[in-house]
Structure formats: C-alpha cells, structure tokens
Amino acid sequence: MSRARRTSHLTCLALTATIALGTALTPNPAHAQAPAQPPAQPPALGIDHCTPTACHFDVPSGAYDVKVVLGGDSASSTSVGGETRRALLPETAVPAGERVARAFTVDVRTPEGEPTGADGTPGLDLVFGGAAPALADIRVTPARRHTRRILLVGDSTVCDQPGDPYYGWGQLLPQYLRKGLSVANHADSGESTVSYLADPRLWDTVRPLIRPGDLVLVQLAHNDKTTDEPTYRANLEALVAGVREQGGEPVLVTPVVRRWFNADGTLNNGTALLVNGLGVDHPAVIRSVAAAEDVPLIDLTARTKEVVEALGVEGSKSLYLYDEKRDNTHTSRHGATVYAALVRDELLARRLLPPGLVRVG
C-alpha cells in the first residue's frame, strides 16, 4: 500500500473511532432531558393601567392578588371597589405625605356578577372612592393556584346586585378579607333551592368549580315560598353532598330576616322570620339539616333579628330599602355591610377562617 493510501486509511480509522467514542458518551437526543425551567411568571400589571379613580387590567378569569399603595401629598381617605360593585377594601385614611400599603385577592369571572346576568366587562376593573381618594401605586399578579376561596350560593339578599340602591351581603364581604382569600359570589336573584339546583347556569356550573379547602356558604330560603318541607330538606342535603363530593366544606346559612314588625316591636313570626305559606319554617329546617349532617351553621336569621329588633321600627329602616323602595327584604349598602360583618364574625367564631386572613378593624 502506498504511503498516501496508508495515511488516508489511518485517518479514516481515526475518524471512525472518534465517532464511535462520541456515540458511546453522548446520550441519544431522543432521550435527552433539558434542564427543568420554572414556569414563566407574567409581569405584574401596574399603575400605567389606571386613571386617578379607576384601573382596568386585561386579564383572563381567575384569582388575582392586588397590592395598592394609598396616600399623597394631602391627607387622603380611599376605598377600593371592583367588578360588579363589590367592596374590596374598606375606606382607609392616610395622613398627608404618608403612604399605606394594603392587599387583597379578587375573583375575576364571566359573568362577573349574577350567574344569570350580563357578562360584564372583560378583565379586572377597580374603582377608587372615599372622601379623598389617592392611589400612589398598584400591582396586580395572578394568585397562587390553590388560593383559598369562599363560594356563595344564594339569592338576591346575597348576590352581587348590578344596580343602585340594591346590595347583597356577599357583595360587601370581600372588603373584610385579606390577600390569600377571595370571594366567588354565585348567588343569583330570585332563586330558590328548587331553581338553583335545576338551572344549569347555577349549581351544575358552580359545583365543578369547588376545590378541596374551599368554603361554600349556602343561603337559600326567601324564594322557597311554595316548597314543601321534605323537598326543601332534600334540596339542602343535595347541596351539602355536592360540596363534599368535590372536597369543599359546606356551611349552611339561615336567611336574613325581613323587616316586618308586630305591634310590640318584635319581628313577625311568619313573613319576617321566613315561614312560608305551607307553614315551612325555613330557618328551623336549615338548623335541623346542619345538625343531622354535621355541617357548620351560621344562624344569620337569629343574628339579623337581634340587630333589627334592637334598632326598632325607625332605626332599622336604614338597613333595608324602605325609604327608597318601601322594600323590607332587600338591603341598602349600609345594611349589606352590617350583615356581611355578621357573617365575617360567625366565620371567625366557628374557626372556619384563620384570623390572619380577616380584617376586623
């Protein structure tokens, strides 16, 4: 073999060995695993999405943590609301030249208010009110995936009412909660236990949303005017079972009273205390089901009765829409705020919420 051919042959052998060695040491690309990368976090949305009195953020449905910095050169007093007239942060006073940070978690969904109502505005809308609103900064970020929630199942005395002067207590409840706990209000005007279970936009939609650890507060009675006791009881039991099957914790809530007085200044045992035309005592049935099913009970009937009777015929008018509408069933903003505070207090008293997630001041 000539020198040139011998050199070429040796070069080929060397290349072949190099390729073989490389094949032995290099993993098959089909089985290679790239280093794990943490999921990308979307950037925080800030004050560039705001005017002095409102913000709009183009975000999909979900739970969002909102941190606001309040205050300015002058003394200020700022409240925060959002979506369908929800109260998200109570009015907060800040001295001139100082800043105060507050945080809360808000539920964004479609429809943004009542489940059978209008879709509302896409994304998250916040508004700033109070005696002298001043927003210095804001940051909006997606909440942790398993952020705890309170889901509400109820009627018009609970729901996110779309228009003044009506308010449900569920509409005012979020202002009493801190970051890490949101309210998803799926209450709907005019609903009974019968209609809530039957309408696919209601229970069939809410039930799959329930996650382990969620509280589900159920207050349905005002519209069960023609529901007999066995049916009413069975419907409550079905709601309780459905929540538990999803891993949530049901809480039964007796209904807020109607403002109907006897001549002696006590509330009427029928209309005011939710006994229907068939003689079904709704609060009594709710208490019975709660005891039988070992479900936490918030006796809002008893608590609101105490408040209304203590205020008397004249003083209790401001809780309801008597002056505006001659309405003794639906609450004003003031009444809904008072009743939401009662719910908050009962949740704390029954240790259903950790105190660190609740505003009491």
pLDDT tens sequence across 115-174? 999 999 999 999 999 999 999 999 999 999 889 999 999 999 999 999 999 999 999 999
Under 8 Å between Cβ of 258 and 225? no
pLDDT score recorded for residue 43: 67
Taking the C-alpha atoms of residue 240 and residue 237, their distance in angstroms, rounded to an integer, is 5
pLDDT score recorded for residue 361: 72
Query: Residue holding tokens 């109502």?
Result: 117
Under 8 Å between Cβ of 125 and 107? no
Taking the C-alpha atoms of residue 159 and residue 319, their distance in angstroms, rounded to an integer, is 16
pLDDT score recorded for residue 136: 97
What pTM was computed for the model? 0.88
- Residue 258 tokens read as 């109607």
- Residue 80 tokens read as 């925060």
Residues of the chain with pLDDT under 70: 1-43
Amino acid identity for residue 351 in this structure = R
Other CB atoms within a 10 A radius of the CB of residue 182 amount to 24
pLDDT score recorded for residue 146: 83
Residues with Cβ within 8 Å of 169's Cβ and at least 6 positions away in sequence, in order, are 157, 158, 256, 331, 336, 339, 340, 343
Q: What structural domains does the chain harbor? A: 46-143 (2.60.120.430), 146-361 (3.40.50.1110)
Please work out, in degrees rounded to the nearest 5, the angle formed at the alpha carbon of residue 110 by the alpha carbons of 183 and 209: 55
Taking the C-alpha atoms of residue 316 and residue 306, their distance in angstroms, rounded to an integer, is 11
